[in-house]
Amino acid sequence: MLELLWHDGVEAICPTLVTCAVAPLRQALAVLEEARQQHRPGRCQLLGAHLEGPFLNPGRRGAHPEQHLAPPSLAALEERIGGFEDQIELMTLAPELEGAGAVVEALRARGIVVSLGHSAATETEAHAAFDAGITMLTHSFNAMPDMHRRAPGPVAAAALDGGVALGLIADGVHVAPTMAVLLQRLAPDQLVLVSDALAPYGLPDGIHRWDDRPLIVANGSCRLEDGTLAGVTLPLLEGVRRLAGVGGGGRPGDRSGHGAAAAGAGRWPTCGRDAGRHAPGGDSALESRQRRAGVAATY
């Protein structure tokens, strides 16, 4: 997997661990720590993990298994990440849940980025979460309230705030192309493209296993048996190309590239601190692979 990601132009990743039981989560963190120490050239670099859950709103859980969700508390946090704090870069949670405030404070004290996701937060609750230290939306529009003229929701709150990164899955399925371009034009300097790629990344369409559930992959999109959209198997740079293409070229396309560059340049809280930041020409192999994927430059 790491070799394939490197070949696809990805220099480093924060591997996402979805909601699961405590023991498998801690085992996965231990495995990632060991794999991180075995990095070698020709592989995508493993940064700290992204924990997506378990402090998610049950009504917005998406493909996360309900039986493993947990109310946010310091005890539940310690049970899951105690001893692995330095191995975690990012955590997604629903800030409107009771007890979430203390968890956000504890995570920020450890230097862990906190992102709003799988949440039913209102505009008011989202603003309060940003004031408390949440600095990102995990996947804008997905598993959260939509923008509405009388209920703007977290996406509008983040765009107005101006200091919150707007994660976007730009595959054209998770978010309609028109809405993706609208968000790009609304807050181009806040846009951060995320892949949402799952374990079958690089495998052909068909039925694959995901934890103990079958995952149906068709045209690069992954769904559970009940039709719930779970993720993609597309390269991250395919999202860049699709967003630029939908923008119609010219200025909109330039804006999508600028948004990706802003994320890499560290304007927003990013995993791995200085990982992935370099001057043009600083990594000729990386830039050669990215040029083959249609990227003009990285910064």
What is the set of active-site residues? 196
Question: CA-CA distances (angstroms) from residue 48 to 65, 224, 272?
Answer: 23, 27, 7
Q: What's the farthest any 2 CA atoms get from each other in the chain?
A: 52
Percent composition of the chain: helix, strand, coil (DSSP 3-state, to 5): 40, 15, 45
Chain position carrying tokens 């043009």: 280
Q: How far is CA 236 from CA 42, 88, 169, 171, 260, in A?
A: 18, 21, 9, 9, 11
**Crossing angle (nearest 10°) for helices 177-186 and 153-161:** 30
- The letter for the amino acid at 112 is I
Question: How would you classify the pairing of strands 191-193 and 165-168?
Answer: parallel
Segments in the chain forming alpha helices (H): 2-7, 22-36, 74-81, 100-109, 123-131, 153-161, 177-186, 236-246, 250-264, 284-292
Which two structure tokens, joined as six digits, stand for 150? 């009388």
Asked if 51 contacts 81 with a C-beta cutoff of 8 angstroms, the reply is yes
